[in-house]
Structure 1
């Protein structure tokens, strides 16, 4: 009985002992808090995403960089921290680190070379972890190179050139690896709404204030993005708000002491206190007078009026989901020729175009898990472009035209880790485009409706630690092609060590027999129009691209350097070619677009890069050959097996130096080697090929940042000069009989710019 009396006391002791043992465990079940800061400056990083891997628990750092993670029940776990412009990091949390007062440091991606990219795989990955070479143009490069539009900045990448193809209207096109603009797919936030009509002048209509970064993937990209991606894919990623701010910039430029160019741009961002919602707005107003280089009263650079507005907003229903809305309105009036004080039809030569572009998209993305790839995205995009135009000579009142283009694109994809070493992506999309183009005076009527339905799949497999294999394919049904089109690709990444990598790629592309941007442009030759017609039996153009590259990079907390050497090869079968097709009944010159034989583009690129906390440098050089298997008749009775207007050697460089906390300087340049340029009769007696000179275009700028202190805004004053040595074409045709397409070399002469920016 005495022993029984001690039982309640024993039970009470056991309960107390259990509670004491449980107290440390309970302490480990409270919230986790800390601060996210910049590795170098120690400044807080508001907007950084903080998630606990393997759970749905997460937070966004507030305006002071602080974060709190609630309801974390594990005593040991991993936190992943990421932010735009910084390298992602993972932190192990446990008994040794504690759960309170964590300080997590992020390093800027510019220095580490750890940029996040999405275009190559449709999933966000570090640039060095992708089996495909992805080149990036960001706002720093835009600033260092004095770039104000997409056409200005995108040339500072290996294998890319932007050229002006018309004195009268300023038609520009982007060449990737020497192939014409119609061979490239341009995306806005991954959506294919950049139509054929937008491609004629669109590169100059997109301001850099709208852009977060541009990702470029060279080589066939039809396996992910469908038609036209033969030369490569350019993805313009619009700016997203990550902190509240406002800035306005006013600038004035003088072209070779003659024409002036005025610009005012406004950018403002707002982010809610809980950082779950934000909006970024941009606006641009531009006015440029025409520039006449050879004083013949006919312009070489067009008169331009531009007014653009846009916004991108986001809402996070939860930490791991996001709803995004994007809208843009681009309005542009451009004109070249002569007699600008008169109406277009009262000029001897005039090309006048007034564009109104309205577009937007809505997208929803949801990360379904944090410890593995498991995410879904859906989008709907639309764009409407209307254009009034005049392409005429000899004061012809019948050369006015109207164009209307409507594009709708919708789709989605799902990405999931099949295992710890294999990520799968499946997707489908639909694109509808209708183009109506009418010029009564030339009897040109186009009414083209295209529907493309596609589905794709890919596997990103890592069989061993040092190897990544990316395999994918896409099936497209194009309304102009009878049979479905299959586009496969394969990419291999070999990590030789932590600093060196080898990439091997093989991919395909196609272009359907439809009207493209170059077909809508009307060129003036000898006072008459030059029109492009499509052959009735025009068939699909196909391509095979392969490349191999060696990449080496090294980084530590103080500096980063690296280089990439790549060889590339693209073969186009049933290539689209233009041949002389005589004249129509009105005396206009005709070119016929038809299928030819094969064409081969091959070459090599060298990409150099280095940076410290105060300096940056990058440069690229491309050596290439671009030829048709069979000579092509580029003018009546004249043949060439060369892809014309394509130099065999070209490159760029860009460098900057922050030599004081308030001052920096930048230099950049573009080299364009000699090339064969067609020169049509009119001003000259007969058609002939000209061999152009080589051009060096050197640029420099000086930037002064004045912090006014307190609650006052920051003031930035910048002066710059483009084409310092005035390397510009010197043999333009003159007068009404000129060949407006005989233009090559730098897109502008020596230009001096001064700007002032107020930011808050």
Structure 2
């Protein structure tokens, strides 16, 4: 009996000792002093872990005393590890995560038309969150693109400042702009796809470099930009952002979320931009920045349906009045020959949505429609145009097995276009039915293939096939990824909807025969490496080598005749090749950096001779550096870009202007103060170096109607005493904005759901 009593006492003492060596650990995950819910947290080598609740907290119990490594990770924030020593019954630790500027493991849809982790996608997709664009606030996403590697917003006219987006050196008509995956933005309105949506309502921007014609059809030859807007479920209750600049620009965005019924939610966004302050700092008597008055209204609805089936409907209306020209121009001079001005009135509406059919299979019906009206004068040249597009698409996703993920689609696109030029006197209608198939094959956890094929029948140009192939390999820990792709693209051109230079009154437009569709082959090798150092620093490497070969390339010829733009299919070949690299760096003490560089060579070969493409740099670099000063919630952002020389369009052998642009850099700095109640105050300086092109960028700005220019019997300009360089008025010699250094100040406010 005595021995039993002693044994019992020993067991109690041992149990008490063990109990005293167990701890309850409370972990709270934060970012910028705000809790992060649904964050994955684990204790290495213990098997213990879970996800944080709405307060960013996770409680783990009965953990033996000792030292442990805690790892926290969340999509869009990367991951971070901290060491803790448990030597008490209760312990509390905070883990701070840093939001990645590129959201390295975001969900993407643009590459394969299916939601998939960026790291798992066989197609390389660049992803940028609103946080990235806030580092250099701009009145439109179009201007913000200047800080994305391999992407350059190109101003096409020194007078009206309209432009397009270049991807890897290929001009704007080769870039497709989507909103929520809908190809509703085309040539006549490509810029308007990147303006007018409040940036607080943008979930992310996805960029695919290289042909995407297999899934999206014509216009996606050089790549695509997909603006993904927030769903009402993810949008803040209220968001507002407004800033002003020392040049007199006023930009304001406001977003509002509301619930109409228990199952129906909506978001409304209003964007307004105004600039009415003519400035001529280079002394050429032309406005340095186009005056603008732009209003856009965006509305999106989502409905909860049985089985979580998708149904959303969105619409947008854009109105813009812009003009640039001689400083003394007024609306009374519109279309006249006394004072030169370029005045553009634009009205545009869009509606688009997705409806998932009530079937056991994953079948989506996607639709969009838009109308675009433009009433413009370029000097005394009138250009009035209308464009209407109807798009419908039916997709079926089917997992035949654990290895085969199939996507089938039927599409139809109707395009009506008419303008008041002789080229389209009666208007044109294009029917474009198509079908596509894609099979993503998962061989094992490390190897994946994707095969795709699209067939289109263009009512004007006949049958078109566009295949593609993609391969992806990843290391067992998925920290290293290698992708290889090859694909075919095609584009049907409409000059007057795509190239502003064709509209300027300074040159005559000449067509060298009928324009045939362009075809291209593209190959791309992509390497991704993610590293987390022992000091909790994150290093992301994303490098790509690309090569694009063109047949039937349509090239505007500015050089054969300085008074003409000659459009025709290149009697030869064209290539775009290069190498790009992105470095994404972040440290636990608050410093982040995104640095990108691109080397490329875009060459046109005709009659055995090669030449560089106009307005295309061989080197470009971008950077975005950010630092947060601890608990003060004050952050500093330094952004910029660097461009190498571009070949520029001269007006003849006597033109005294440089054939190549100089190296130039646009740099910006911003300071932001955040408050816990959702308020942000920010301000800074744009174009710190005050770089602007030379004052003679507009040829003969003093004689915009060529009243003092003499021509011979062949229509060629004759050098005279008043025109010794035999020039005509021409605003196409443009490679950078004319807007110099300026100060900006702004306020943001976000009200999140309680």
Fold shared per TM-score above 0.5 = yes
- Is residue 618 of structure 2 the alignment partner of residue 627 of structure 1? no
Deviation at 1:685, TM superposition (A): 4.9
Paired residue for 2:398? 416
- Give the counterpart of 1:228 among 209, 219, 235: 219
Distance 2:426 2:741 in 1: 40
Q: Matched residue of 1:426: which SS? A: strand
- Is residue 683 of structure 2 the alignment partner of residue 719 of structure 1? yes
Distance 1:41 1:340 in 2: 49
- Is residue 643 of structure 2 the alignment partner of residue 672 of structure 1? yes
Distance 1:40 1:298 in 2: 48
Deviation at 1:408, TM superposition (A): 0.9
Distance 1:313 1:380 in 2: 15
Q: Matched residue of 1:726: which SS? A: coil
- Is residue 290 of structure 2 the alignment partner of residue 302 of structure 1? yes
Structure 1: gaps (5+ residues): 1-35, 49-60, 67-81, 89-104, 633-638, 708-712
Distance change (3 Å), C-alpha of 1:43 and 1:251: closer
User: 1:650-689 maps to which residues of 2 (within 5 A)?
Assistant: 650-661=620-631, 662-680=633-651, 685-686=654-655
Paired residue for 1:24? none
Distance change (3 Å), C-alpha of 1:446 and 1:154: farther
User: 1:741-760 maps to which residues of 2 (within 5 A)?
Assistant: 741-746=732-737, 748-760=739-751
Q: Is the 8 A contact 1:648 1:673 kept in 2?
A: yes
Distance change (3 Å), C-alpha of 1:689 and 1:726: closer
Distance change (3 Å), C-alpha of 1:209 and 1:473: same
Q: Is the 8 A contact 1:182 1:517 kept in 2?
A: no
Distance change (3 Å), C-alpha of 1:357 and 1:552: same
Q: Matched residue of 1:284: which SS? A: strand
- Is residue 134 of structure 2 the alignment partner of residue 143 of structure 1? yes
Paired residue for 1:456? 436
Paired residue for 1:12? none
Distance 1:729 1:513 in 2: 31
* CA offsets 1:173-192 (integer angstroms, 9 cap, x no match): 11111011111111111111
- Is residue 623 of structure 2 the alignment partner of residue 646 of structure 1? no
331-340 or 201-210, which deviates more: 201-210
Deviation at 1:611, TM superposition (A): 2.5
Distance change (3 Å), C-alpha of 1:513 and 1:161: closer
501-510 or 154-163, which deviates more: 154-163
Paired residue for 1:72? none
Q: Is the 8 A contact 2:433 2:458 kept in 1?
A: yes
Q: Is the 8 A contact 1:480 1:512 kept in 2?
A: no
Q: Is the 8 A contact 2:482 2:527 kept in 1?
A: yes
Q: Is the 8 A contact 1:519 1:533 kept in 2?
A: no
Deviation at 1:671, TM superposition (A): 0.7
User: 1:274-353 maps to which residues of 2 (within 5 A)?
Assistant: 277-288=264-275, 289-318=277-306, 320-338=308-326, 339-343=328-332, 344-346=334-336, 347-353=338-344
- Give the counterpart of 1:532 among 506, 509, 522: 509
299-308 or 572-581, which deviates more: 572-581
Paired residue for 1:375? 362
- Is residue 394 of structure 2 the alignment partner of residue 384 of structure 1? no
Distance 1:593 1:533 in 2: 9
Distance 2:512 2:523 in 1: 30
Distance 1:229 1:380 in 2: 18
Distance 1:660 1:650 in 2: 33
Distance change (3 Å), C-alpha of 1:696 and 1:243: closer
* CA offsets 1:666-701 (integer angstroms, 9 cap, x no match): 1110111111111226xx954976111001111110
Paired residue for 2:664? 695
TM-score by length of 2: 0.79
Q: Is the 8 A contact 1:148 1:207 kept in 2?
A: no
Paired residue for 2:14? none
Distance 1:748 1:694 in 2: 17
Distance 2:201 2:459 in 1: 33
Distance change (3 Å), C-alpha of 1:452 and 1:581: farther
Distance change (3 Å), C-alpha of 1:443 and 1:39: closer
Distance 1:366 1:617 in 2: 44
TM-score by length of 1: 0.78
User: 1:485-564 maps to which residues of 2 (within 5 A)?
Assistant: 485-498=464-477, 499-515=479-495, 517-519=497-499, 521-522=501-502, 524=504, 528-555=505-532, 558-564=536-542
131-140 or 686-695, which deviates more: 686-695
Distance change (3 Å), C-alpha of 1:628 and 1:306: same
Distance change (3 Å), C-alpha of 1:566 and 1:437: same
Structure 2: gaps (5+ residues): 1-26, 40-51, 58-72, 80-94, 705-728
Distance 1:126 1:87 in 2: 13
User: 1:397-412 maps to which residues of 2 (within 5 A)?
Assistant: 399-412=381-394
- Is residue 142 of structure 2 the alignment partner of residue 157 of structure 1? no
Distance 2:670 2:220 in 1: 35
Question: What RMSD, in angstroms, separates the aligned Cα atoms of the two structures?
Answer: 3.5
Distance 1:388 1:211 in 2: 30
- Is residue 233 of structure 2 the alignment partner of residue 251 of structure 1? no
Distance 1:84 1:282 in 2: 26
Distance 1:388 1:511 in 2: 26
Paired residue for 2:187? 196
Distance 2:160 2:317 in 1: 21
Distance 2:303 2:408 in 1: 25
Distance 1:602 1:330 in 2: 37
- Give the counterpart of 2:445 among 438, 442, 465: 465
Q: Matched residue of 2:659: which SS? A: strand
Distance 1:187 1:690 in 2: 35
* CA offsets 1:500-529 (integer angstroms, 9 cap, x no match): 1111110110012544633455454xxx53
Q: Is the 8 A contact 1:44 1:65 kept in 2?
A: yes
Deviation at 1:593, TM superposition (A): 3.1
Distance 1:678 1:157 in 2: 26
